[in-house]
């Protein structure tokens, strides 16, 4: 019995001799596990780069004029916020509706990072936010 598992192979990684194994086996068990871990690490590292970014659009609450649109950095600079973070938190407050006194109307959407890279500085969309799209804020 044990058909097809009568080969003696040498692990390509550590050189460990493995007897009575399949002919196509190339790595011993521990090296296979290590390679899998490495694969997972690579995968995770690759996916930590955000493929999608938040795109903000800001209107004047009174006149409805488009004031700024772009990433939080771009809008913060345009509207005079001292940092992208302070702009983002202002948007969160504005969208939550708890601060009615805000002079801006905000919209927030997720778009592809490649879209940002290939875009001109200001995108002219005139679409008003329809209702509250219940944004999920992720901190950290």
Residues that bind Zn ion (CB under 5 A): 11, 13-14, 16, 28, 31
Residue 96's closest CA among 136, 54, 138, 56? Answer: 136
* Minimum gap (Å) between residue 123 Cβ and Zn ion: 53
What strand order describes the sheet that includes 104-112?
66-70, 52-60, 104-112
- Report residue 43: phi and psi, to 5°: -60, -45
17 vs 125 by CB, closer to Zn ion: 17
* Minimum gap (Å) between residue 28 Cβ and Zn ion: 3
34 vs 109 by CB, closer to Zn ion: 34
* Minimum gap (Å) between residue 29 Cβ and Zn ion: 8
32 vs 78 by CB, closer to Zn ion: 32
Helix (H, G, I), strand (E, B) or coil at 95: helix
* Minimum gap (Å) between residue 39 Cβ and Zn ion: 15
31 vs 79 by CB, closer to Zn ion: 31
């Amino acid at each position: 019995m044990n058909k097809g598992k009568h080969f003696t192979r040498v692990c390509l990684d550590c050189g460990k001799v493995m007897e009575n194994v399949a002919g196509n086996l190339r790595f011993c068990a521990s090296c296979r596990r290590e390679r899998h871990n490495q694969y997972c690490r690579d995968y995770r590292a690759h996916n930590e780069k955000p493929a999608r970014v938040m795109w903000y659009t800001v209107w004047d609450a009174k006149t409805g004029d488009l004031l700024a649109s772009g990433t939080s950095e771009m809008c913060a600079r345009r509207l005079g916020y001292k940092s992208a973070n302070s702009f983002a938190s202002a948007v969160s407050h504005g969208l939550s509706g708890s601060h009615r006194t805000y002079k801006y109307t905000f919209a927030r959407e997720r778009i592809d990072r490649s879209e940002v890279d290939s875009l001109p500085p200001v995108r002219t969309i005139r679409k008003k936010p329809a209702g509250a799209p219940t944004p999920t804020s992720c901190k950290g």
